[in-house]
Chains A and B, each alone.
Chain A
Amino acid sequence: MLVIKDLKVSIEGKDILKGINLEVNKGEVHAIMGPNGSGKSTLAQVLAGREEYEVTGGEVLFEGKDLLELSTEDRACEGLFLAFQYPIEIPGVSNTNLLKNSLNSIRKYRGEEELDAMEFLTLIKKKMAMVEMPQDLLSRSVNEGFSGGEKKKNEIFQMAVIDPKLAILDETDSGLDIDALRTVAKGVNKIKSEENAIVLVTHYQRLLNYIVPDFVHVLYQGKIIKSGDKTLAHELEERGYDWVIEEYNAKKS
C-alpha cells in the first residue's frame, strides 16, 4: 500500500529526514516511536503533503502511485488520512460542514454520487456511536475551544467518517485520559480492517496494548534505526532508547 524509499526531507535548509525506508501493507498496523524531535511528525506531515517541507531525495508510492506528485487534497481523496498531533482550530467552520465537504469532495474525486442530507446524517450518527463522540461537538466550530482530549477524539471521529485506506495517527494518544484512550483505541480497532492500514506515532506502550502493532519502528535523528515486532515496544518502555541508539552507533562505526 505504502512504500517509502530513502526519503530525505529538509526544512529551511536543515535536514530532518535522512533516508527513511518503510513498507506498509494492507491489514497491517505499524507503530513509529522515537525521542522528541526525531522527525516523526515531519514524516507524517510530508506524507500528507505539507508544502513547507522540502523533499530532497527518495520516493513514496501509495497504491502504486507517486504520492509526492499529488496535491494534499488528492492524497486525501486517494485514501490517505492524517490525524494531527496538534489539531487545528477553525473558528466559523462547523464540524458538520467540514465533514460534509470533505466526504463529498472525496466522493466526487472517486466518481461517486454526493451524499444527500439524509444519507449524510445517517452516516454521521453511525460513526458517532462508533467512536462515542458527544453530539454537541458536532455543531461547534472545528476544534475551537475543544479540550485537548476532545480534539484528539474529533480526529478519530473524522477518520471514522472518511474511512481512509491508510491512516497515520500522530500521537493521538497524547493528552487522553485513561477512559478516553480506551474509547479512542476501541474506535480505531473498529475502523481497522483487512483492507486498510494504520501507522501509529506514539511515545507510549499503553496505546499499543489496545491497538496491537504488527511492526514497531524506532525513528532517531531522521532515520529508522531499528524495527521489530510488538515486543520491541515493551522493551523500549522498560529500557528507554539509549540501548537502541548505542547499538545503532556501534553498528555504524
Chain B
Amino acid sequence: MDDKTVKQWFGDSFIRFEKSLNGESTSPLHLVRKKGFEKFSMLEFPTHRNEEWKYTSVKPLLNYRFDPNSGIVDISKEDIEKYLYDESIYSTLVFVNGKYYEKLSDLSKLEGKLEIMPLVKAIKSGKDEAINFALEILDKDADIFSSLNTAFMMDGTYIKVNDDAVVDSPIQIIYVTSADKETVTNPRNVFIVGKHASVKLIETYAGLNETPYFTNTFTIVKVDEYGSIEHTKVQDETRNSFHISTLEVNQKRGSHYAGYNVNFGGSLVRNNLNIHLNGKETETTLNGLALSKGTQHIDNHTLINHLEPHCNSHQLYKSILDDSSRIVFNGKIFVKQDAQKTNAFQENKNIILSDSALVNAKPQLEIFADDVKCTHGATVGQLDKDALFYLKSRGFSHKEALATLIYAFASDAVHSIQLPLVRDKLEVILSEKLLTPALS
C-alpha cells in the first residue's frame, strides 16, 4: 500500500477509536492523543532516502492494515510461562494486545516504595508527569512512529520510584499480542527513578500466535540525581511480526542507567535508543545482543548525548547472524562543548554464520569538547573453526559446539545484568533459538 492509503487507514481507525472512548474524548489524555494524531498526519513514512533509514525499509510493514482497536483476549499463565521469572521475588505486569491484564499481574510486593500502575490509570488519576512527558516528546522532533504511538496511546507501565527507595523486587513487564486479526499495539512506558533510588526491571515483548502484528512502543525513562536503574528489554516477537521502539532516557547528575537491549524475534525490527546525559558524573551502560535468522532484519540506532562533564558511557553491541538475515547498527555519540572529561566507549561485534547474512555498522562520533576519551570499533567475523573442531573432538555435537561458542561470544554483552535469573533465561532462550532452524 502507498503512504496515503496507510495513513487513511490509520485516520479511519482513529475515528473508530474515538467513538469507542465514549465520553472520554475531551479528557486531557485524549487531547494529547489528538495532538499525536495531528503530528502523525503531517509526517511521512521514512524511505531509504532518509539517512536514518538508509538500510531499513518499512515497506513490508505498510502492506498490512494493522488494527489499533483489537480487544483484549483471555490468556493463561502457561501461555507466558517461558517469559516469567520467579514470582516469589519478581513483581509482574502483563499486557495483552496493549491492555493491562490484571489476572496475571501481581504488584503486591511493591507497596510503599513506589507508585506503579497501568499508564492510563496514572493519567486518569492526575499524574501530571505521565501527560507532560507525552507532550514534551511531541514538541520535540517526534517521528512518525512515536507520533502514532501517542495517537493511539492506550496502556503501558507507569512507575515512579520514591526518593531514596531501594526496590528489592525486580519488576517484570510482559507485553504479548494474541489476536486473530492483524493488530498494532502502542505500549507507552514512563519510568521515573527518584533521587538516590534504585530499581531493576525487565520488559519482554512476545506474540502468542502466527497472525502478523505490529508492536510500536515508546518508553520514557527519567533518572533523578544519583538514582539508578537496570533496564533490560527482551524482544522475542514472532517471526512474522514487526517491532519498532523508541527509548528516551534522561539522566541527572550522578545517576546510573544500565540498559540491555536483547533482540531475538521479529521480521522487521527497529529500536531507537536516545540517552541524554543532563547532569555531571553519570554512568551509562548501553548493551545490545541480537540473534537473527531467516530473513529477519534488526536495526538498532543508539544515541548517547554527552551534554555535561565527567560522564562515562559504555556501549557493547553484539550480534549473531545466520541465513540471509541482516543487522544494522548505528551508534551516535555526541559530545557537546561543555562535556569535558567525557569517557565514551563503543564496541560493535558481529559474527556471521552464513554467506548471505549482512551487517551494516556505522559509528558516528560528533565531538565538540577537547578533553575527551572516545573509542569505538566495529568488527564482523566468523566463528573460530579451530575452536569448533576442538570442542567436537571432545564429544560436543556440532550444534552444542556452535551454541557454546556463540554463547561465549555473546555473553559479555549481558553478563553485567545483576539479575541472575534473567541472565540464565537469556542463555536458555539463546541456545534454544540457535538449535531450532529458521522458519523462513
Question: B390 contacts A90, CB within 8 Å?
Answer: yes
A contact residues, total (Cβ < 8 Å): 32
Most chain B beta-carbon contacts within 10 A, residue among A51, A88, A141, A158: A88
Q: Answer whether residue A42 sits at the interface, using C-beta atoms and an 8 A cutoff.
A: no
Q: Answer whether residue B411 sits at the interface, using C-beta atoms and an 8 A cutoff.
A: yes
Q: Answer whether residue B389 sits at the interface, using C-beta atoms and an 8 A cutoff.
A: yes
Which of A73, A91, A92, A106 has a CB less than 8 Å from the CB of B392? A73
Question: A72 contacts B389, CB within 8 Å?
Answer: yes
B contact residues, total (Cβ < 8 Å): 22
Q: Answer whether residue B167 sits at the interface, using C-beta atoms and an 8 A cutoff.
A: no
A162 CA to B405 CA, complexed, in Å: 21
Question: B386 contacts A49, CB within 8 Å?
Answer: no
Given contacts A101-B400, A101-B404, A105-B400, contact A90 B387 (CB under 8 A): yes
Q: Which residues of B contact A98 (CB under 8 A)?
A: 391, 394
A142 CA to B391 CA, complexed, in Å: 10
Q: Which residues of B contact A248 (CB under 8 A)?
A: none
A200 CA to B396 CA, complexed, in Å: 24
Q: Answer whether residue A84 sits at the interface, using C-beta atoms and an 8 A cutoff.
A: yes
Question: B396 contacts A105, CB within 8 Å?
Answer: yes
Q: Answer whether residue B407 sits at the interface, using C-beta atoms and an 8 A cutoff.
A: yes
Q: Which residues of B contact A90 (CB under 8 A)?
A: 384, 387, 390-391, 405, 408
B residues 371-407 with Cβ under 8 Å of A? Answer: 384, 386-387, 389-398, 400-401, 404-405, 407
A residues 9-35 with Cβ under 8 Å of B? Answer: none
Q: Which residues of A contact B395 (CB under 8 A)?
A: 73, 76-77, 101-103, 105-106, 109, 162
Report the minimum CB–CB distance from B399 to chain A (whole Å): 10
Q: Answer whether residue B345 sits at the interface, using C-beta atoms and an 8 A cutoff.
A: no
A88 CA to B395 CA, complexed, in Å: 15
Q: Answer whether residue A185 sits at the interface, using C-beta atoms and an 8 A cutoff.
A: no
Q: Which residues of A contact B392 (CB under 8 A)?
A: 49, 71-73, 76
Give 5 pairs: A residue, B residue, CB < 8 Å, sorted on A: A71-B392, A76-B395, A97-B404, A101-B394, A103-B395
Q: Which 5 A-B pairs have the closest CB atoms?
A: A92-B408, A105-B395, A72-B392, A76-B395, A102-B394
Listed in ascending order, the chain B residues whose CB lies under 8 Å from chain A are: 384, 386-387, 389-398, 400-401, 404-405, 407-409, 411-412
